[in-house]
Amino acid sequence: MKIYTKTGDTGTTSLIGGKRVQKFHERIEAYGTVDELISHVGLLRDQIANNNLKEKLLFIQDRLMTCATILATDCEGCNLKLPVLTDSDIEKLETEIDEMEKQLEPLHSFILPGGHPISSQAHICRTICRRAERHALALSQNYKVDELVIKFLNRLSDYLFVTARFISKLHNVTEIPWNPKY
């Protein structure tokens, strides 16, 4: 099988279920942003030495692939076997957030991303995740979107924020509070 099909040369692509849509369709924007996030999480994982955190990021990439699959599907009543998200996927993120936060100082202000390239990459992942969530929410205004996808993306952005802080702590980076000038 060749990687190129030439079926997209006219600016359309197929969704799971067979429907063809413009490549700038809101469904493509939603799952394409999740795909971008999967790649950035991979870059983050590649930079981390902590095997436990690497495994957690691999789990996240797997769950994001599921999110992308769900967002790429447009077929009411199709008998396709598709991966699913579960409440336990979200609970796993919450448990991980709680465990990392136990090791971090409480926040008293916003912080400015930066201080270490790995922490900065986690913040980039967080912002892409927020964009993916916005696209999924926009899609849900016109199409049925599994609520667990939106919940997962919302919780994941929190997880990625705490992960960035945790990475800063691992690398002895002092967080820079944002002190607005009025």
**Is residue 132 included in any domain, yes or no?**
yes
**Is residue 181 included in any domain, yes or no?**
no
Neighbours of 94 (CB within 10 A): 12
**Is residue 45 included in any domain, yes or no?**
yes
Which residues 6+ apart lie within 8 Å of 95 measured at CB?
none
What CA–CA distance (Å, rounded) separates 60 from 160? 10
Looking at the 3D structure of the chain, how many domains does it have? Answer: 1
- Is the pTM higher than 0.85? yes
**Is residue 8 included in any domain, yes or no?**
no
User: What DSSP state is assigned to residue 116?
Assistant: S
| Domain enclosing residue 133, as ranges | 20-73+83-174
**Is residue 152 included in any domain, yes or no?**
yes
- Residue 166's CATH number: 1.20.1200.10
**Is residue 121 included in any domain, yes or no?**
yes
Could you list the pLDDT tens digit for every one of the 182 residues in the chain?
788 888 788 888 887 877 887 788 899 999 999 999 999 999 999 999 999 999 999 999 999 999 999 999 988 777 888 999 999 999 999 999 999 999 999 999 999 999 999 999 999 999 999 999 999 999 999 999 999 999 999 999 999 999 999 999 999 999 999 999 99
